Amino acid sequence: MIKPPLSRDDLLALVHEHNHVHNEHRRTTAESVRRKLDARVLEIEDRFERALAEAIPDEALRRAWRDHLHRRGPAPDEPPPVSPLVFRGRSEVGSEAVAREKAGGIHIEVDGAVYDRRRGLDLAADPAGTELRVGTLPPFRERFELPAEALDALRAWVERPDTEPPWRWARELVAEGLVDGHFALTDRGRRALALARRAA
């Protein structure tokens, strides 16, 4: 099962941003500033609705989040936190390494067992892609497990950032670690796009 693309903290950040802009709107008296702030509030509410649609399949939970945004109701405890994927790869002997950001750094699992915890990754790049070195194990060649259409949509958006982000593929892109919960391109996303360009 793919994890939701946004965590509770991401939704709380949108609520905080909404409340901040809404409070600015109440304090200002200049009509031109009020119009700009109105537009910002609507833009944040639109992002919030898209986030709810992507992160939360349950309508009752979406209603609870809307109540928190608009009426200062209690913040729901869901969705659960997401540990962002920063690397996935396979070695020549068939072992798989997965690295995720967690509290205190990056946790690397090899074949499902926690193997290492560290602050950064030991990555080496060449024309065939990126490799991760973990101790004395054979290197792990980076792999990306998402539909080609999702990567194509991401590449099109990165090349034309004035267009709408590929929200249709948000779940897959975030689960694979190519974008974060705010749809910003990650280091892994940059590596995926660079590899796709070299393969084209």
Q: Are residues 20 and 67 in the same domain?
A: yes
Q: How confident is the model at residue 2 (pLDDT cuts 50, 70, 90)?
A: very low
Of the chain, the percentage scoring pLDDT greater than 90 comes to 40
pLDDT at 3: 40
Q: In this structure, is residue 3 part of a structural domain? A: no
Asked whether residue 32 is assigned to any structural domain, the reply reads: yes
Question: Going by DSSP bridges, is the β-strand pair 140-142/85-91 parallel, antiparallel, or unpaired?
Answer: antiparallel
76 inside domain: no
In a domain? residue 54: yes
Structural domain count of the chain: 3
pTM score, whole prediction: 0.63
Whole-number pLDDT of residue 164 = 80
Q: Is position 186 within any domain?
A: yes
pLDDT in tens, 114-144: 888 888 888 888 878 899 998 889 999 999 9
β-strands 129-132, 123-126: how paired?
A: antiparallel
Q: For residues 198 and 200, what is the distance between their CA atoms, to the nearest angstrom?
A: 6
Q: How far is CA 85 from the centre of its chain?
A: 9
DSSP state of 16: H
Please indicate, yes or no, whether residues 138 and 165 belong to a single structural domain of this protein. Answer: no
Higher pLDDT, 9 or 44: 44
Are residues 138 and 183 located together in one domain of the fold? no
Task: Report yes or no on 153 lying in a domain.
Answer: yes
Question: SS3 for 57?
Answer: coil
In a domain, 191, yes or no: yes
Domain range for 161: 148-199
**Per-residue model confidence as pLDDT tens digits over 73-124:** 998 988 876 678 899 999 999 999 999 988 778 999 999 888 888 888 888 8
The two structure tokens encoding residue 111: 């074949």
